[in-house]
Chain A
Amino acid sequence: MSPARRLAVSAASVAVLCGCWEAAPRLGLAPDASLPPLSRVLAGTAAVLGDAAFRDQLAVSAARWAAGLGCAVLAGVPLGVAMGRAPLLRRLVEPLLALLYPVPKVALVVPLLLVLGQRMPAGRADETARVAVIALGCLIPLTVSAAHGAAGVEPRLLWTARAAGAGRVRRLAAVVLPAALPQVLSGLRIALAVSLFTLVGAELLVRGQGVGAYLFDAYDIGEYTRVWAVTVLVAATGLVLDTGYALAVRRLLPWWEGEV
């Protein structure tokens, strides 16, 4: 399929969803007035984007998101690579990850607050808890895929490097890391999606500032169009991030034939 055709097919599924959303409320198929037609929601989205108060909240959320995802990358990728190359470490850490896996990370925000609240002022405890929850959510996909990538390095590549005279450190930097990179980057793609929903989820649960809080405020005062407008914005951000990321990876890894 040509790129244009692929894009058309993908756009078609979004278009069908949009059409249903527009039609359902107008035809009286929506349960009640809480679901406005899409056109009204989109107008609301434009209004939200024009709202200075929203942009302030967005900046807060973006900083939180970057902090959470950044910590997860800095911790998860090295941990995963180390696990991939050291079976003992893998055996030690894997059960912990398996335990953490099914726990909804957003739900951890409550026990985290209990613990952190004992040691820091409330505002900082809230902020730390939100960032920690985002980091925890992203940690698993990043660590697991980095571990798989590092463990799956074709042994003959390492043998070749060793015969050519490359020492341990160089083999790690020049063979293990590039060989694991595609998997690391596909873990990051999953983490990107996870980071968005944990961000908004944490902000809904522990209210303060941020896009999630803005959304909940709109709900509290019954502005349902604004609730939907922000939701659409979050979804669109996810789509743009994911698509942009996939394109960037294709440029970054010209040698990689597979999907990331």
Chain B
Amino acid sequence: MTAAGPPGGTRPKLRLAGVAKEYTGRRRGTVRAIGGVDLDVRPGEFVSLVGPSGCGKSTLLYIIGGFVAASGGTVDCDGRPVTAPGPDRGIVFQEFALFPWRTVAGNVAWALARRGVPRAERPAATARLLETVGLAEVARLYPAELSGGMKQRVAIARTLAQDPDVLLMDEPFGALDAQTRALLQEELLAVWERTGKTVVFVTHSVEEALYLSDRVVVLSRRPARVLEVIEPGFARPRDREKVLADPAYPALHARVWELLRAGGAA
């Protein structure tokens, strides 16, 4: 099944056409991670990817980021083929990938410096970003001294510091407790609404995907294909209670679960 394209024919921010990926490993031989994904993402759209563990979601983000080359198909960003990483696409890795030799503030300030923020403005900008993710008190600690959830938030702040057009987020709230998670979801929505960034968001939580997204892309088991694209359509700005209480919510939730469970036994 093909993903829905953008209505009206405005140029998509991202266009994935027939994206496929095979890994050739030393022990497992060839592994087909992605089996041909078509997807258009509008500028400023919030799209979630859900799918079974190991189906190729991280790989798909790496391909959009330009870190890994697809073995088939193309990715265009603003109409230009993606061939390498660029500052227009920022990523929050599932594994955080913080610089262990820089403090929390150092990690964020480094991304600001790469963007050309003058040295004098960096401390204040760093403090603001750390405030956003609720980490002001640990600015001087090293990553090794943080919990998993804190590392994840530093990674988010660092990517926000890069100020990319497209935010690629790989289960960014996976390691957080329910409260922090809710808080950061709201914060992310606020940033998104304020800045008009395009977000591609990988999650295991169906609830999270429905609450945050314009569209939820349900992927099959490996090799990943698009099973179905679901549009929650809840009013913006979103309110968690209202979303959960929306009469349409249970059916949407059930539908995504049904797809995930069936898994597109290909």
Tell me which residues across on chain A come within 8 A of B110, comparing CB atoms.
164, 174
A253 and B114 form a contact (CB under 8 A)? no
How many A residues touch B, CB cutoff 8 Å?
Answer: 22
Task: For the complex, give the distance between the alpha carbons of A50 and B107 in Å.
Answer: 53
Task: For the complex, give the distance between the alpha carbons of A257 and B67 in Å.
Answer: 29
Q: Is B234 an interface residue (CB 8 A)?
A: no
Tell me which residues across on chain A come within 8 A of B85, comparing CB atoms.
159, 162-163
A163 and B87 form a contact (CB under 8 A)? yes
Q: Is B81 an interface residue (CB 8 A)?
A: no
B114 and A165 form a contact (CB under 8 A)? yes
Task: For the complex, give the distance between the alpha carbons of A155 and B164 in Å.
Answer: 20
Task: For the complex, give the distance between the alpha carbons of A163 and B68 in Å.
Answer: 12
B86 and A156 form a contact (CB under 8 A)? no
- Nearest residue (CB) in A for B112 is A164
User: Majority SS of interface residues in chain B?
Assistant: loop
Q: Is A160 an interface residue (CB 8 A)?
A: yes
Report if A163-B89 is in contact (Cβ < 8 Å); known contacts: A178-B101, A255-B142, A255-B143: yes
Residues 128-168 of A, flagged 1 when their CB comes within 8 A of B and 0 if not, give 00000000000000000000000000111101111111100
Residues 200-221 of B, flagged 1 when their CB comes within 8 A of A and 0 if not, give 0000000000000000000000
Residues 104-116 of B, flagged 1 when their CB comes within 8 A of A and 0 if not, give 0000001100110
Report if A257-B84 is in contact (Cβ < 8 Å); known contacts: A156-B97, A164-B111, A174-B110: no
Residues 95-123 of A, flagged 1 when their CB comes within 8 A of B and 0 if not, give 00000000000000000000000000000
Q: Is B90 an interface residue (CB 8 A)?
A: yes
B91 and A163 form a contact (CB under 8 A)? yes
Tell me which residues across on chain A come within 8 A of B158, comparing CB atoms.
160
Task: For the complex, give the distance between the alpha carbons of A254 and B103 in Å.
Answer: 10
| Contact with B101, one of A154, A160, A165, A255 (Cβ below 8 angstroms) | A255
A164 and B89 form a contact (CB under 8 A)? no
Report if A159-B100 is in contact (Cβ < 8 Å); known contacts: A164-B110, A166-B114, A174-B110: no
* Interfacial residues, chain B to chain A (CB-CB below 8 A): 62, 65-67, 84-87, 89-91, 93, 95, 97, 99-102, 110-111, 114-115, 142-144, 158, 162, 164
* Interfacial residues, chain A to chain B (CB-CB below 8 A): 154-157, 159-166, 174-175, 178-179, 181, 253-257
